[in-house]
Amino acid sequence: MQRPEAWPRPHPGEGAAAAQAGGPAPSARAGEPSGLRLQEPSLYTIKAVFILDNDGRRLLAKYYDDTFPSMKEQMVFEKNVFNKTSRTESEIAFFGGMTIVYKNSIDLFLYVVGSSYENELMLMSVLTCLFESLNHMLRKNVEKRWLLENMDGAFLVLDEIVDGGVILESDPQQVIQKVNFRADDGGLTEQSVAQVLQSAKEQIKWSLLK
């Protein structure tokens, strides 16, 4: 699958945000129908991706902007999101001015977070790709035990899907091929494995301290 050049999102202050602030909505450009305006594109779509266990404790998390700059703020946000979503059948939630899509698998909850004006289908495509990629890597055992034993691969999978908040890939087959290629080609060096494992240990340590 080709990597997208950009995903459309409105510029801050335009459209609904400007209307809520009491300001005038941006005028249509010449040749555009009244009430319609092309949104300015941006690559930065994803604010965070995290996986929690069925007690709401963090197993894996990556944040791509400074909405929650400290670990403490991130953990509080994750706990609040878990409390809001863990007992519902929906797959989409709106919380704190953000759009959150999520999926439950046995004893895991997978979350993808975007801004309130992000396209839910775009966020859902990232979530689906993450789940299907993990499902393949973990041999259809997407649960806490197997995730913890394969945390290095899980981080590699996530990095192939999202980088710095930019969606790179939404096809799980392509993700798995790239992860395998990195391992076969020697891209998965002892140093990179050590870094990933150290990050995983930090995630687990914070989970145990909760």
Q: What digits encode the pLDDT tens for the residues 152-177?
A: 999 999 999 999 999 999 999 999 99
Cβ 200 vs Cβ 155: under 8 Å: yes
Distance CA 62, CA 65 (A): 10
pLDDT number for residue 135: 95
Against a cut of 0.75, is the pTM above it? Answer: no
Q: Supply 142's token pair.
A: 């997407």
Say which residues have a Cβ less than 8 Å from residue 183's Cβ, sequence separation at least 6: none
Query: Tens digits of per-residue pLDDT, 4-25?
Result: 444 444 444 444 444 444 444 4
